[in-house]
Amino acid sequence: MATTAKKKDVVIVGLGWTGAIVGMELCEEGLEVLALERGDDRDTIPDFRYPNIADELKYGVRYAAMQKPRNSTLTIRRTIEETALPYRSLGSFLPGDGVGGAGVCWSGNSFRPMAEELRLRSYVVENFGQGIIPEGMTIQDWGVTYSELEPYFDRFEKVAGIAGKAGNINGKIVEDGNPFEAPRSGEYPMPPLPQTVDALMFAKAARSIGHHPYPLPSANASQTYTNPYGMQRGPCNFCGFCDRFGCFNYSKSSPQTCILDALKRKPNFEYRANSEVLRVELSPDRKTATGVTYLTAEGEEIIQPADLVILAAYQLHNVHLMLLSSIGKSYDPVSGEGVTGKNYAYQMTGGTSLFFKGIDFNPFVGAGSNGTVIDDFAINRIDFGAQGFIGGSYICAGTTNGQPIRSMRLPKGTHSWGGQWKQAIKEWYGHSMSIGSHGSNMSYSDSYMDLDPTYTDRYGRPLLRMTFNWKPNDIRMTQFMKNQIEPIAKSMNPDIMDSDYKSDGAMYDVRPYQTTHNVGGAIMGTDPNTSALNRYLQSWDVHNVFVMGANAFPQNIQYNPTGTVGALAYWSVAAIRKHYLPRPRPLI
Amino acid sequence: MKTLLVAVLALVVLGLIAIAPIVLVPVAKTSAQQLVASDFTQDGGKSEYLVRLADCAPCHTAEGRKPFAGGLAIPSPFGTIWSTNITPDRETGIGSYTLDDFRAVLYDGLRKDGAHLYPAMPYENYRKISENDVRALYHYFMNKVEPVSSPVRQTQLSFPFNQRWGIRAWNWFALNEARFKPRYNDLVLDRGAYIVETLGHCGACHSPRKFFLAQDGTDATAQGFLTGGEIDGWPVPSLRGPASAATKWSAEELRAFLATGRNNHSGVTGEMTPVVQDSLQYLTGKDLDAIVAYLRHISYAAEQPPARIDDRSKRTIALLNSADPSMDLGPRLYLDNCNGCHFTNGKGARGVFPELDGNPIVVARQSGGLIDVILKGARMPSTESRPMRLAMPAFGQRLSDKEIADLATFLRQSWSNNAGPVDKTAVAVRRQKLASH
Amino acid sequence: MPLEQYQPQFFTADEWAFILAATARLIPSKGDGPGAIEARVPVFIDLQLADDFGKGADWYMQGPHDPNAPPQLGYQSPLRPAEAYRAGIAKLNDWCRAKHGGPFVELSPEEQNDILTALEKHEIALASTPAANFFDLLLQSNKEGYFADPMYGGNYKMAAWVHIDFPGARASFREWVGVDKPYPLGPVSITGERA
């Protein structure tokens, strides 16, 4: 028997980056805000404290900071014909769990997309003609432009305290920054981090062949920083336990280091951990939500009425909750109708390893987000017509960690065990680096999400089902990047060089880690027939539901998503404050 | 606070000498020191502000109990002292107190029933609170605090410390004249002096104790006033003189420390943490400025130029930077445990991680504070402008007594620090003490 | 406690003998650096299988389980890691008895190497548990036990970290960013052990 709780003005599902941002901003309006987080409560000390956090096995290999598939997972298949099977143990992507969400254990690369990426379809049609868009590719414009979002990128970067070097300030190109980036209204809040040996070598090599290296925009603090909420960070010490780990040093931006202690002081804010939202409750006419139903840690079912429902869970879970709650019509890949679940996309990555007998890289000297980037082959630099693909990539070298179980890079052909392996690990550990391509991934009519017909979660709800595979367009893109990276790598004269890029016929493999950049499924756009959310992240159908996160991306950008997720949250909540709260209604 | 109880030792001696008159002569309450119109009332908010300034809540609120309902246990070698219920409940609180009764508590440490309070209640300082403010405090406790019927355990110290009349003798000896006298002919400095010397009762911890453990003066005319003390093995830093924060830090840095518990050099720890959390962070900018101006004024020392990096500091930094495997255990432990936040220059990170080079807790004669922080960590309070509860983790699990002694010795003798070594037995004593709390 | 006196918590005596033999082949003692035996990798594996990892405590284990699942769709066996180990060791010993006339532990190091190689290449099919899963599990556990913090039972005296010059749980290297010379200081473990 469910208990009905006292009504709140706002209920937020999930207390990661976007939940914390929206909570902070709506508390400023004086609203009573409740955030429900299904994972554990977590704070820097004690949960990420040194020395306990410096434990590769627990966090890097057993994924202690991540969601447990036992509690929540999905099924995956490559094609519509295949039977989807459960993602039983973590591999390809690692959704976060608990207060702070994936914002605790991310690596911290914090980019803005290129202006062209936010209106990709129009950009392609205007410059290369509709004809180059392959059959089945369903790329769209986002419905919001870069210049509209710029103040909100700026806001997020100041709150998150990003370290970097601007390359374009109000149209003026700045030396040592990225000359191809969209104009920024100002410099980064912090100067760039110092760089590891591999990043310095890559920068030198890239520059010498005419590319434009710039420091990776990083959520690792380069110095002491105090953000607009008064939250503080200390300089990153390159501990080498960053991605997959909570930061013990208050150096990596996260909801904990940037927002939560300030938010917890608000008398009108409340949060409950270990509280899992089962569904969003809709009014009989299904035009508004009346609140959510959730389970407490003790298994008590609670109906939480609210005037405004913010879905701020991870991309997969926002889409899952929308499907379970019938928010928006479920997408049908055959007819192409419906919007919820449409346009799931991922990230196309590849890389080249370089081995140098005589160079000491000290790979344990690392930060989650550290390195040198070039955007010379990014989306606005490529002639899609001539190259035969739509997309682009940033190319990067830098060291995140030297943890020996998961980061033991050995030349191809080395035995994976036995005496030769034991000798090789001594010979090559600390004597290699890699140059990576981090590329876009387009959206397609048969890459989508719906509810699984067979498997259920621990509450008996159908699991989310992902249908996704690599497509020729994106494989051509990554092969193009291979051809750009290898000459740079060769110019550095490594003793051995190995490349690893997807090639024709590559099928999606859920086992090796790739990225936790799952996007789409509840996308933003200009047309209720082709998108689930309007340009303000408001559900077209249920106007008091706003959905934060990378689920809004109509296709994936070439960059890591967090910067864009943060900016969109500030953009959306600004619209809520300015336009929605005075007169709740569909904003478009 | 609990160290004050040692003062009670003095009672044994004094009590024997003076027992007859003390027991026989009735106690007189100190009367109002200023004339105040009989219809005087406090405007909204002022009285609450004064309660913040006087920092009543931390001692008179126990965890899990209503504000000011008392019941906080203060362990002492002589037994546990329980703080009293000061809500306006007539039976268990101070609801039946008249203004005169209330004033007698603040000025004379006298309960309504005539019993003496233990001098953990800082009436040495409170007895200079102005009559306006006494009335405002009285108004607040009588009208703004919810009465809570909640009996508090009676403090039961063992003999002879349970002979409260003995405190009367101590009072004759220790108490200075009631009434605060402005001395500076300067509104800002006199306001600063008033806060620090009376309501803020800073001297209760920051002044050394003279004979029978009375505070060494209760205003800046006394040489010893605010020159530092000791609580439970922790050093309490001096607030005046050339080595003090008042002269080493800029006015802005001192102000930031008071308002937020942190600044470019240091982060608050120990007994000062609740002072920032419950009292100082609520002060107006004007009052903070007055405190800072006053503390700097009484320091008799000009502001010092920033210390230059001397050769000893350079040697420490070079050794740590080298990561040389042949280094001694102390620096090795520093690299293994401390360097991630405090860095090889011992300077920490401005506003976030305290500097160890020159840190008064690190170099103090008493090593208890340093050892305790290593053993159990520390956490800064959340304040309005600096909400983050920045913390240092505990290292007591990872490090043995010997290792902590070697590490602490290294910290006390590196960079420009030059303090005595720490012995492993001292660490064992502190570890035992923390475990028993 | 010496390895010989260790009382396995999960493995039976026969299984323990197999684990000692197999790990000694996967990371042999000969040459620079510790072998799996010196690093006490078998202790690590035993403790892991007795604990949450062995129970698959974090994994989604609801059926149906598709025995013909493509490997790219990840672990799909109904067996939890401890069960997969138990079944894998039994089946492999059965296979060794049938082909070589004795359990794995009684074969020569050369034969053991050949069998492990064949297992890695999926040339030996172990009924009821996919061969690749068992070998992958075994190899992964070896690397984990070799390199994980010593508090988990392996990487004895941090010798595997010393072997590759990994400084362990120190986690503080600001002064060494961008420095291309060997970092000299030995490792520290989570509990504060130094080498």
Report phi then psi at C90, rounded to 5. -60, -45
* Cα dist from B186 to B252, B291, B303, C64, whole Å: 21, 13, 21, 84
- Full DSSP string of B19-68: HHHHHHSPPPPP--SS---TT--PPTTHHHHHHHHHT-HHHHB-TTS-TT
The mean pLDDT value for B409-433 works out to 97
Q: Does residue B306 sit within a domain?
A: no
* Span B4-11, average pLDDT: 53
Helix, strand, coil percent content, chain A, rounded in steps of 5: 25, 20, 55
The answer to whether position B342 is within a domain reads yes
Residues 6+ apart with CB under 8 A from C167: A364, C161, C183, C185, C186, C187, C188
Q: Model confidence at B308, in pLDDT bands (50, 70, 90)? A: low
- pLDDT bucket at B24, cuts 50 / 70 / 90: low
CA distances from B304 to A118, A313, B120, B227, B266 (A): 56, 53, 36, 18, 17
Write the pLDDT tens digit of every residue in B164-220.
777 777 777 777 788 899 999 999 999 999 999 999 999 999 999 876 678 888 999
Residue by residue, DSSP assigns chain C as --GGG---SS--HHHHHHHHHHHHHHS-SSSSS--TTTTTHHHHHHHHHHSHHHHTTTS---S---TT--GGG----SS-HHHHHHHHHHHHHHHHHHHHSS-GGGS-HHHHHHHHHHHHTT-S--TTS-HHHHHHHHHHHHHHHHHS-GGGS-SGGGHHHHHHT--BT----GGGTT--S------B-TT--B-
pLDDT digits (tens, 9 = 90+) for A353-382: 999 999 999 999 999 999 999 999 999 999
Domain limits, chain C: 3-166
Q: Please check whether residue B335 touches A, CB under 8 A.
A: no
pLDDT at residue number A307: 98
Rounded Cα gap, residues B268 and B264, in angstroms: 12
Provide CB contacts within 8 A for B142, sequence distance 6+: B88, B95
Asked if the structure places residue B35 within a domain, the reply is: no
What is the 3-state secondary structure of A56-92? Answer: HHHHHHCCCCECCCCCCCEEEECCCCCCCEECCCCCC
Q: In the predicted model, what is the mean pLDDT of residues A279-304?
A: 97
The pair of structure tokens assigned to B361 is 């807790």
pLDDT value at position B436?
85
* pLDDT tens-digit readout, A325-337: 999 999 999 999 9
CA distance B404 to B401: 5
- In chain A, what are the domain boundaries? 3-580
Distance from CA of C41 to the nearest CA of A (A): 13
Max CA separation in chain A (angstroms): 72
Distance CA C149, CA B134 (A): 61
Residue B327 located in a structural domain = yes
Helix or strand holding residue B297 (H, E): helix B285-297
Q: What is the enclosing helix (H) or strand (E) of A545?
A: strand A545-547
The stretch B25-38 carries a mean pLDDT of 76
Q: How far apart are CA A92 and CA C33, in angstroms?
A: 32
User: Measured between CB atoms, does A228 come within 8 Å of chain B?
Assistant: no
pLDDT surpasses 70 at B10: no
What range defines the domain where residue B423 resides?
Answer: 311-436
The predicted pLDDT at position B217 comes to 86
A238-275 confidence digits (pLDDT tens) = 999 999 999 999 999 999 999 999 999 999 999 999 99
Owner of token pair 């007189």: B28
Inter-chain CB pairs, A–B, below 8 Å = 64
Task: CATH number of the domain at B281, please.
Answer: 1.10.760
Q: Rounded mean pLDDT of C143-159?
A: 98
Region label for A143, one of left (φ > 0), alpha (ψ between -120 and 50) or beta (otherwise): left
Pair type for strands A301-311 and A3-4: parallel
β A496-500/B378-379 pair status: unpaired
Peptide bond into A586 cis (omega under 30): no
Going by the DSSP 8-state scheme, the letter that residue B198 receives in this structure is I
Q: Name chain A contacts of B398, Cβ cutoff 8 Å.
A: 51
* Mean pLDDT to the nearest integer, B51-61: 93
In terms of Cα–Cα distance, which of C182, C168, C3 is closest to C159?
Answer: C168
Question: Three-state SS for A4?
Answer: strand
Q: Which residue has the higher pLDDT, B310 or A453?
A: A453
Query: What CATH topology corresponds to A3-580?
Result: FAD/NAD(P)-binding domain (3.50.50)
Sign of torsion over alpha carbons A481, A487, A491, A494: positive
CA A400 – CA A398 distance, rounded (Å): 7
Residues of C with CB under 8 A from a CB of B: 170-172, 174-176, 183-186, 188, 190-192, 194
DSSP label at A138?
-
Number of domains into which chain B is organized? 3
Token reading at A41:
């409560």
User: What global pTM score does this model have?
Assistant: 0.94
Render pLDDT for A78-110 as a digit per residue (tens, 0 to 9).
999 999 999 999 999 999 999 999 999 999 999
B343 shares its domain with B286: no
B335, B323 Cβ separation under 8 angstroms: yes
Tell me chain C's radius of gyration from C-alpha atoms.
18
For residue C59 the two structure tokens come to 């994994």
Residues B283 and B321 occupy one common structural domain: no
Give the chain B residue whose CA is nearest to the CA of C176: B321
Q: Is the pLDDT of residue C186 over 80?
A: yes
Interface of A with C in 473-532 (CB under 8 A): 507-511
CB contact under 8 A, B341 and A237: yes
Give residue for tokens 């067979």.
Answer: A454
Burial class (CB in 10 A: 0-12, 13-18, 19+), B328: exposed
Residues in A touching B321 (Cβ below 8 Å): none
Contact B332 C170 (CB under 8 A): no
Q: Mean pLDDT for chain C?
A: 94
Mean pLDDT, chain A, integer: 98
Q: Are A477 and A372 in contact (CB under 8 A)?
A: no
CA dihedral (B289, B290, B291, B293) positive or negative = positive
Within 8 A of B332 by CB-CB distance, chain C residues are 185, 194
Q: Provide the token pair at B410.
A: 């290294």
CB under 8 A, 24+ apart: contacts of B270-273: B270/B231, B270/B234, B270/B361, B270/B369, B270/B372, B270/B378, B271/B1, B271/B205, B271/B231, B271/B234, B271/B236, B272/B205, B273/B378, B273/B379, B273/B380, B273/B381
Is residue A311 within 8 Å of residue A18, measured between CB atoms? no
Residues C91-100: tens digit of each pLDDT:
999 999 999 9
Contact call for residues C15 and C88 (beta carbons, < 8 A) = no
Residue B303 counted as domain residue: no
pLDDT band at B1, cuts 50/70/90? very low
A257 in contact with B, Cβ within 8 Å: yes
pLDDT the model gives residue C133: 80
In a domain, B247, yes or no: yes
Q: Quote the mean pLDDT of chain B.
A: 88
ipTM of the complex model: 0.97
Residues of C in contact with B321 (CB under 8 A): 175
Centre a 10 Å sphere on the Cβ of residue B392 and count the other Cβ atoms it contains: 22
Contact C176 B323 (CB under 8 A): yes
Predicted local distance difference test score (pLDDT) of residue B43: 65
Contact list, C170 vs chain B (CB under 8 Å)? 335-336
Give how far B334 is from chain C: nearest CA, Å.
10
Given a contact cutoff of 8 angstroms between Cβ atoms, the answer to whether B368 and B374 are in contact is no
CA separation, residue C166 to residues A24, A383, C142, C147 (Å): 42, 45, 18, 10
d(CA B4, CA A582): 59
How far is Cα A495 from Cα A476, in angstroms, rounded to an integer?
Answer: 28
Residue A357 in contact with partner chain B when CB distance is under 8 A: no
Task: Identify the DSSP state of B195.
Answer: I
- Residues B358-398 have pLDDT tens digits of 999 999 999 999 999 999 999 999 999 999 999 999 999 99
- Take residue A357 and report the two structure tokens written for it: 């007998």
In this structure, how many other beta carbons lie within 10 angstroms of the beta carbon of residue B95? 17
Q: Which helix (H) or strand (E) holds A462?
A: strand A462-467
pLDDT, residue B20, reads 57
- Which chain B residues are closer than 8 Å to A235 by Cβ? 349
Predicted confidence at residue B15, as pLDDT, reads 52
- The yes-or-no verdict on residue A447 having pLDDT over 70 is yes
Task: Classify residue B171 as left (phi > 0), alpha (psi -120 to 50) or beta.
Answer: alpha
Q: Which two tokens stand for residue A386?
A: 């001539």
Q: Which of C32, C166, C172 sits opposite A423 (nearest CB)?
A: C32
Mean pLDDT confidence for C109-130: 86
Q: To the nearest whole angstrom, how far is the Cα of B2 from the nearest Cα of chain A?
A: 29
Shortest CA gap B395–chain C (Å)? 10
CB atoms within 10 A of CB A107: 25
- Whether the ω angle into residue B305 lies within 30 degrees of 0, i.e. cis, is no
Q: Do B332 and B281 lie in a common domain?
A: no
Token pair, residue A291, equals 């609140």
Q: Catalytic residue numbers of A?
A: 517
